[in-house]
Amino acid sequence: MGRTVVVLGGGISGLAASYHLSRAPCPPKVVLVEGSERLGGWIRSVRGPNGAIFELGPRGIRPAGALGARTLLLVSELGLDSEVLPVRGDHPAAQNRFLYVGGALHALPTGLRGLLRPSPPFSKPLFWAGLRELTKPRGKEPDETVHSFAQRRLGPEVASLAMDSLCRGVFAGNSRELSIRSCFPSLFQAEQTHRSVLLGLLLGAGRTPQPDSALIRQALAERWSQWSLRGGLEMLPQALETHLTSRGVSVLRGQPVCGLSLQAEGRWKVSLRDSSLEADHVISAIPASVLSELLPAEAAPLARALSAITAVSVAVVNLQYQGAHLPVQGFGHLVPSSEDPGVLGIVYDSVAFPEQDGSPPGLRVTVMLGGSWLQTLEASGCVLSQELFQQRAQEAAATQLGLKELPSHCLVHLHKNCIPQYTLGHWQKLGQEPVQVATES
C-alpha cells in the first residue's frame, strides 16, 4: 500500500505543498482538506463593474532569492507565463517608496547620492546612521525586539520612523514587540556573522542554488521588484487547483477538521465533520492557534507552543476614483504608529499594475487598517462595520493623498487574525518536538 498524506488548509501554502507532493518521483496519495468552500486562503481577487481587478489580500509577489525563483518556476510549470505582469527595476513602483510623517509624504532615499543628502523626515543624511552601524559592536543577546535592534545599530530616528513603519507594513505589528531574529533573520544573522548588518548584507551569506527558467532569467535581467497576474493573484491558486485535480489529488472543500488522533499502528486519524480520513503523514497549512486545538493529548507541549503564537487582524479597503491623480508616483507609502495608530499604509495599485484599472480606467488605491487602533476596537467589543472601515479609509486617502472626492467603487474586507506575530523569544518555540506533524509557524 502507498503512503497517504493529508494536507490541512487550502490556502497557498497547502496548495503548494500538495503540488510538490504530487510531483514527487513516487507520489503518495494526497488529500487536501479545506474548511471553507473556496481555495486560495488570503489570496482573493475580485473584478469590479468596469472590469478593474481588486485584490482583497496580497497583490504582488517578490521574485528575489531562491524562494522567489522557485515561485516563478511554479508559474511557468502551471503555464501562466503569458499572464505575468512584472514591475521592472526602472519603474516608479520599483524605485519610489514613501513615508507619511508630519502630515506630508517623504520619499525614502535610494542610492549612494540619496544617503548623502538630507532626507526628511530624518534630521540627518542616512549616511550617518550607516556609519554608526559599521562601528557598533555585535549584540550579545540571543534575541531582541526589532525596535531595540534598530535603535542600537542605526539610531532612534531610523528605529521609530523607518523600522516602526516597516513592521506595520509587513506584519501589521509593533516593532517594540516583534523579534528581530524571527521577523528579519537576515539582519540578525548578518550581525552575528559579520558584526555589522551592512557588512553582512554586502558580503552575503553565500549564493543559494536556485532553479533556472526563461521567466527567472527575464526577472533577473529586468530587475523585477514584484509581479502579479493579469486576472489577479487568485489565478495562481486557481491554476494550482486545476493542476492538482489532473494529478489525482483529492480536494475536499467545506470540510473543517475537528480533531487529529494518533492510532496504535502509528497512523493518523483526521476527523472531519461527517467522516474521517487515515494518513501516514499530516502537513498543516492552517493557523498555529487552530492547529493547537486539533492536536491529540500526546502533543500537548506542541499545542501549548502553537497556542502562544498570536495573530493580528487587518482591514483591507479597496478604493477606485474616476478622473483622479496621485500627488506622487511609486509603490505606496507607510505610516509610522506615531503619525496614525490605525492606518498602516496605502498601496498605489494603479502605478504598479495599470493593466488592471478597468475600462474606463480609474485610479485604484488600497488602504490597510490595523495596528493598535484596530486591536483596541476588537478588545472593546465595538461593532466592526464596513461603514466604519470605509469612512476611516476615505479620510486617510483624502488627508494623505488629496483624494477628496467620493470613490466610484469601494470594497471592504476584514481579515481576522491573518498575520502571526513572531514576538521576542519566538525562536525558542521552534525547538518543540513536532510529533510527526509538519507545521507552519
- For residue range 246-265, what is the model confidence (pLDDT) as tens digits? 999 999 999 999 999 999 88
Distance CA 287, CA 297 (A): 19
Contact between 272 and 257 under an 8 Å Cβ cutoff? The reply is yes
Distance CA 136, CA 115 (A): 19
Evaluate if residue 63 carries a pLDDT over 70. yes
416, 311, 403, 419: which is closest to 366 by C-alpha?
403
Distance CA 330, CA 35 (A): 38
* 3-class DSSP state of 112: helix
Evaluate if residue 292 carries a pLDDT over 90. yes
State residue 322's pLDDT score. Answer: 96
Three-state SS string over 268-281 comes to EEEECCCCEEEECE
Distance CA 163, CA 140 (A): 21
- On the CB side of 156, CA atoms within 13 Å amount to 1
**3-state DSSP percent of the chain in helix, strand and coil, to 5:** 40, 20, 40
Where helices occur in 64-196 by DSSP H, the ranges are: 65-77, 92-95, 111-116, 126-135, 146-154, 156-157, 164-171, 180-183, 185-194
Evaluate if residue 113 carries a pLDDT over 80. no
DSSP conformation class of 27: P
Average pLDDT, the chain: 93
From the centroid of its chain, how far is CA 377? Answer: 23
How confident is residue 440, by pLDDT bands cut at 50, 70 and 90?
very low
- Determine how many CB atoms are found less than 10 A away from the CB of residue 198: 17
Evaluate if residue 157 carries a pLDDT over 80. yes
Range scoring the smallest mean pLDDT among 81-85, 265-269, 285-289, 366-370: 265-269
How confident is residue 437, by pLDDT bands cut at 50, 70 and 90?
very low
State residue 207's pLDDT score. Answer: 66
DSSP conformation class of 160: I
Enter the C-alpha cell of residue 197.
Answer: 548588518
State residue 111's pLDDT score. Answer: 76
Contact between 180 and 120 under an 8 Å Cβ cutoff? The reply is no
DSSP conformation class of 10: -
Range scoring the smallest mean pLDDT among 125-129, 183-187, 336-340: 125-129
Distance CA 185, CA 199 (A): 15
* 3-class DSSP state of 230: coil
Q: Which residue has the cell 483529492?
A: 250
11, 306, 422, 396 alpha-carbon torsion, rounded to 10°: 50
In this structure, which topology does domain 4-43+233-308 adopt according to CATH?
FAD/NAD(P)-binding domain (3.50.50)
Delimit the domains of the chain by residue range.
4-43+233-308
* Percent of the chain clearing pLDDT 90 (strictly above): 85
State residue 441's pLDDT score. Answer: 35
Contacts of 181 (CB under 8 A, 6+ apart): 142, 143, 144, 188, 426, 427
Bridge partners, residue 46, by sequence: 54
State residue 115's pLDDT score. Answer: 81
Average pLDDT score over residue span 197-205: 83
Evaluate if residue 280 carries a pLDDT over 60. yes
